[in-house]
A = this chain, B = another copy of it.
Amino acid sequence: MKDVKGFIIDLDGTVYTGVYAIPGAIEAVKKLQSFNIPYVFLSNRGNYSRAMCEAKLKGMGLSVDPERIVLSSTVTARFLLQQYPGEAVWPFGDPGLAEELRSHGVVMAEQPEHAKWLVITLHEHLTYAELNQAFRAVRHGARIIATNEDKMFPTEAGDCIDVAGMIGAIVHATGEPVSHVMGKPSTIMANAALSVLGLAPEQCIVVGDSLTSDIGLGSMHGMKTALVLTGNATQQDIDCAEQRPDYISNDLLQLVNDFEVECGLR
A166 to B126 alpha-carbon distance, docked (Å): 12
Q: Which of A156-173 contact B (CB under 8 A)?
A: 158-162, 164-173
Number of interface residues, chain A, beta carbon within 8 A: 30
Residue of B nearest to A113 (CB): B158
B158/A169 in contact, CB under 8 A: no
A253 to B139 alpha-carbon distance, docked (Å): 32
Residue of B nearest to A167 (CB): B172
Given A127-B126, A127-B127, verify A160-B172 contact (CB < 8 Å).
no
Given A123-B128, A124-B128, A128-B123, verify A159-B173 contact (CB < 8 Å).
no
Chain B residue numbers with a CB within 8 Å of A41 are none
A131 to B166 alpha-carbon distance, docked (Å): 10
B165/A131 in contact, CB under 8 A: yes
How close is A136's CB to chain B, nearest CB, in angstroms?
6
Chain B residue numbers with a CB within 8 Å of A135 are 152, 159-161, 165
A240 to B173 alpha-carbon distance, docked (Å): 21
Interface string of A119-134 (1 = CB under 8 A from B): 0000111111001100
For residue A264, CB closer than 8 A to chain B, the reply is no
For residue A151, CB closer than 8 A to chain B, the reply is yes
Chain B residue numbers with a CB within 8 Å of A127 are 126-127
For residue A198, CB closer than 8 A to chain B, the reply is no
How close is A188's CB to chain B, nearest CB, in angstroms?
22
Chain B residue numbers with a CB within 8 Å of A159 are 135-136, 139
Other A-B contacts than A126-B127, A127-B127, A139-B152, 7 sampled, CB-CB below 8 A, are A132-B160, A136-B159, A151-B173, A168-B169, A168-B172, A168-B173, A169-B172
Question: Footprint of B on A, CB under 8 Å?
Answer: 123-128, 131-132, 135-136, 139, 151-152, 158-162, 164-175
Sampled A-B contacts (11; CB under 8 Å): A126-B126, A126-B131, A127-B127, A135-B152, A136-B159, A151-B172, A151-B174, A162-B173, A164-B173, A165-B170, A168-B171
